[in-house]
A and B are shown apart, each in its own frame.
Chain A
Amino acid sequence: MTKRIDRRAVLRAVIVFVLAVAAFSALSALGSAAAAADATDVATTVVTADAVDVDAVTADAVVDEEDDAGGGSTGLATNRIAQNVFNGVVFGLLLALASVGLSLIYGTTGLSNFAHGEQVSLGAMLAYFFATQQPVSIPLLPVEFTIGWPLWLASIAAIAVAGFTGWLQDRFMWSKLRKRGVKTVQQMIVSIGFSLALLNFLQWWIGPDRLRVSTSIETRRQIGPIQLGDTTSMSIGIAVVALLAVGYFLLRTRLGRATRAVSDNPALAAASGIKVDGIIRLVWVMATSLAALGGILLALYDSGTKFDTGAKLLLLMFAAVTLGGLGQPFGALVGSLVIGVVVETSTLWLGPDLKYATALAILILVLLVRPQGILGRAERVG
C-alpha cells in the first residue's frame, strides 16, 4: 500500500456513507411530521455529509469551509459560526490533552486503552473532591470531612494523584501482563473491565449528580465576533502550554527521543540500551496526568462534570487518535482539533443531541478510507 489513497477504499467509504445518509434522511422524513421540515432536514444532512467527507481527507479544509460558508451568510450567522468554530478549537485543545496520552500509550504498548475516558473523569472528580466546600467522604469509611482547598492547589493535587494511579496501574497490572506475554487483545478486554470498574467506582464515590468544580461565575467578554470567558482563556493558555511542553519533551529531550524510539520499535529500542519498561511507566504517568488535566479544564469549560463525562469522551478520543494516526502523538493533536471543530459546528445543522454521532461518523469514515490516519505511516494493517 502506498501513501496514495486507495481508490477502492474510497469507493467503499463513499457507498457506505451515502447509504448511511440515505437511511438517516429516510428515517428523518418518516420521523418528522411537517413536510416542510422534511425537505430542509434532508438537504442539511447532505450538506453535512459533504463537509464530513472533506474532513476525512484534509485536516484544515473544514476550518476554511466554515469560514467561506460564514462569509456568505448574514452578520448574525457569521457570529454564530465563528463562535462555534472557536468553541470547537477550544474543545479540541482540551480533548487533545486526553487523546495525546491515549496515543502515547497505544504507540508504546499497542494497547487501545478503554479506561482512558475514566482517567479524564477521575481528574475532574479528584479536583472536585479537593476543592469543594461540601462535605466529602471516602467509600467504605463512615466519616465525612471538608477539604476545600483553592482550585489551583486542588487541581495540582488531583493531577498528582491521577498520575500516581497511572504509576500504580502500570506497576501492578500492565507491566505484569506484558511480562506474562498476554496478548494486546486480551489486555484491551482487561482495560474494558477496568473502565467498567472505575466508572462505577466514581459513581459510588462521588454520586450520580452533576457537579461544579468552580462555583465562581465567569465574566464573558466580546472579542470581535466571539464571546470569551476569563476561565476559558486561562484554560486555553494552560492547555497550549501543556501541549507545547509535551511536544518539547518528545522532540528535544533524551527521554522523549527514547519514548519515540520505543514507540517505533520496542525490541530495537531495548537492544540499543533503552529501558523500555521505565519508558512505558513514564508514559503511563504522563498519559494519566494529562488526562486528569484535560478533565479538570473540561469541567471548568463546561461549568460542570459528571462521573460519566470521560466515558462519553472516550469514543471522541478514539476518533481523534485514529484520525491522526494510531500511536502518533502529534496526529492525536491534529485529530482532536478536527473532531472538536466538527462536533461543535455540526450543532448548526443537526440537533445538539447528535453532535457526538458526527465524530463517530468521521471515525468510521477514516477507518474506511485511510486506516493509518492522516499522519500515520502507510503500512499493512490487515
Chain B
Amino acid sequence: MDILVSILREAIAPTTAAFALAAIGLNFHFGMTGLLNMGQAGFMLLGMYGYAITAREGGPIWLGVLVAIALAVVFAVVLGWPTLKLRGDYLAIVTIAAAEMIRYVGRSQNLNSLTGASTGIRGNEFKGSFEMLSPFPDRMVEFGPIALHGSQSTSWWLALVGWSLVGLMVLLFWRLSRSPWGRVLKGVREDEDAVRSLGKNVYSYKMQALVIGGAIGAIAGIVWALGASVQPDSMGRPTTFWIWTLLLLGGAATVFGPVLGSILFWCALVFVKGVASAVIPDTILNTQQLEPFSLTLVGVTLMCLVIFRPQGILGDKKELAFHD
C-alpha cells in the first residue's frame, strides 16, 4: 500500500514534470527532426543557472525565465552553427562534450561567487519570489492519500505550474507537428536531400528545431531547480541518458510519448526500489546497493527498447526516427 502511495506521489511530482518537459524538448530535436542531441542536461543546467542567478540578484521571475531561455538559445546556436552540416553522430559528440563543459565550468572554483562551484546554489537563495506567488496555504496540505507542502520546494504549487507547462508544451508540439513547418522538419528527418531538392533551407530548419527544443530544456531546468536546488553534478551525462530512455519508452515523435514515458519511468523506478527492498533480503541487496541496482535496470531497459521496440509504447513503427 505504501508503495502505491509513493508511486502516485512520484507520478505527480514536479521532477516528473521537469523530465517530461526536457523530453518534449528532446522530442523536437530527435523525434521531429532526427537530431541526436546528447546534451539536453546541459540546456537544463543553463536554464537553472540563468533563472537562479537572476532571481538571487533580485530580478523578477519573468526576467529569470527570459535569461534562462536566452542562454539556451545562444548555446543552441553556437553548437548548431558548425555541427548541423556534419553527419549525425558528430552533433552527438559535440553536444555531449559541450554539456559536460557547461558542468565543468559551472563547478569550477574560478566562478565560485557566481555559480557556487560544486556545491551549487542553495534553494532558499532563489526560490522566494516564486513561492510568494503560491495560492496554496503555507503548510502541509493533504489531498487524498498524498501530502505535499502548499508552497515550498516540492509543493502543490510547483506541481501545478510544472504540469500546466507540460500541458502547454504538449499543445505546442501538437500544433507545430501538424503545421507546414512541422511537416518540413519531419521531411528533414526522413530524407534531408529530398527536402533540400524542394528548395527548403535544411540547415535553418534544423537550427530552429535545435533552438526550440533547447529553450524547452531550459524551462525544464527551471522547474527542476525550483523543486530541488541548482547542483551541477545532478545534470551530468546520466541525466541526458535518462531523458533519452524515457523519451524512447513513451515513443519518440508522438505527442504524449514524453509525458507517458516520464511518468512510467519514475514510477517504475520507485516500484522497483520498493519491491526490491521488500522482497530481496538485506544480505543480498542492501539499501546502499538499491539505487545502482535499479539504475542498472534502466540501462538494460534502454538497450532492450532500442533493439526490440524502437518506436516505444505509443510510437508508430512506420515513423521510426533512426536515420544515419
Contacts and interface: CB of A to CB of B under 8 A. Distances in A.
Interface of A: 9, 12-13, 16, 19-20, 24, 27-28, 30-33, 41, 112, 139-142, 177, 182-186, 188-190, 192-201, 203-204, 207-208, 311, 315, 318-319, 322, 350-351, 353-354, 356-357, 360-361, 363-364, 367-368, 371, 381-382
Interface in B291-308: 292-293, 295-307
B296 A142 contact: no
Contacts of B304: 193
B244 interface: yes
Q: Among the interface residues B113, B296, B304, which one has the most CB atoms of the partner chain A within 10 A?
A: B296
Given A315-B100, A356-B100, A357-B101, 17 more contacts: A30-B111, A30-B114, A142-B281, A183-B324, A190-B302, A193-B306, A194-B299, A196-B238, A196-B245, A200-B295, A203-B292, A318-B93, A351-B108, A357-B104, A363-B97, A364-B97, A364-B98
Interface in B220-260: 237-238, 241, 244-245, 248
12 contacts: A12-B82, A16-B78, A185-B322, A190-B306, A196-B298, A197-B296, A200-B296, A315-B97, A353-B104, A356-B100, A361-B101, A382-B85
Nearest to A176: B307
B97 A188 contact: no
B322 A183 contact: yes
A321 to B, nearest CB: 9
Interface string B95-125: 0111011001101111111110010000000
B218 to A, nearest CB: 16
B87 A360 contact: no
Given A184-B324, A185-B322, A315-B100, A27 B87 contact: no
B86 interface: yes
Contacts of A19: 78
B107 A140 contact: no
B1 interface: no
Contact of A367 (B83, B241, B288, B298): B83
A140 B292 contact: no
A13 B82 CA distance: 8
Nearest to B295: A200
Interface residues of A, dominant DSSP: helix
A73 B275 CA distance: 64
Interface string B259-294: 000000000000000000000010111001100110
A186 B293 CA distance: 25
A180 to B, nearest CB: 9
A27 B305 CA distance: 41
Contact of B292 (A112, A201, A381): A201
Contacts, number: 172
B86 to A, nearest CB: 4
B284 A193 contact: no
A196 B295 contact: yes
Contacts of B298: 196-197, 200
Nearest to B93: A318
A363 B304 CA distance: 31
B255 to A, nearest CB: 22
B317 interface: no
Contact of B94 (A33, A190, A201, A367): A367
What size tier do the contact residues of chain B reach? 35 or more
B116 to A, nearest CB: 10
A13 B107 CA distance: 25
A94 to B, nearest CB: 21
A360 B98 CA distance: 7
Contacts of A13: 82
Interface in B43-92: 78, 81-83, 85-90, 92
Nearest to A362: B97
Given A30-B114, A354-B108, A193 B100 contact: no
Contacts of B299: 193-200
B93 A363 contact: yes
A16 B79 CA distance: 9
Which of A41, A198, A360, A368: most chain B Cβ within 10 A?
Answer: A360
Contacts of A353: 104, 107-109, 118
A169 to B, nearest CB: 11
B162 interface: no
B24 interface: no
B85 to A, nearest CB: 5
A353 B109 CA distance: 7
Nearest to B117: A353
Contact of B293 (A16, A27, A200, A350): A200
Nearest to B107: A353
Contact of A24 (B105, B112, B323): B105
Contacts of A177: 307
Q: A-B pairs with the 5 shortest C-beta distances?
A: A197-B299, A193-B302, A196-B299, A193-B303, A204-B292
B182 interface: no
Contacts of A382: 85-87
B201 to A, nearest CB: 15
B96 A315 contact: yes
Contact of B97 (A141, A198, A318): A318
Contacts of B293: 200, 204
A207 B297 CA distance: 17
Nearest to B242: A196
Contact of B86 (A204, A351, A367): A367
Interface in B29-48: 36, 38
Contact of B284 (A112, A140, A183): A140
B315 interface: no
Contacts of A363: 93-94, 97
Contact of B104 (A192, A204, A208, A356): A356
B109 to A, nearest CB: 5
A9 B93 CA distance: 18
Contacts of B97: 315, 318-319, 360, 363-364
Most buried by A among B104, B118, B303: B303
A115 B109 CA distance: 30
Contacts of A197: 296-300, 302-303
Nearest to A117: B237
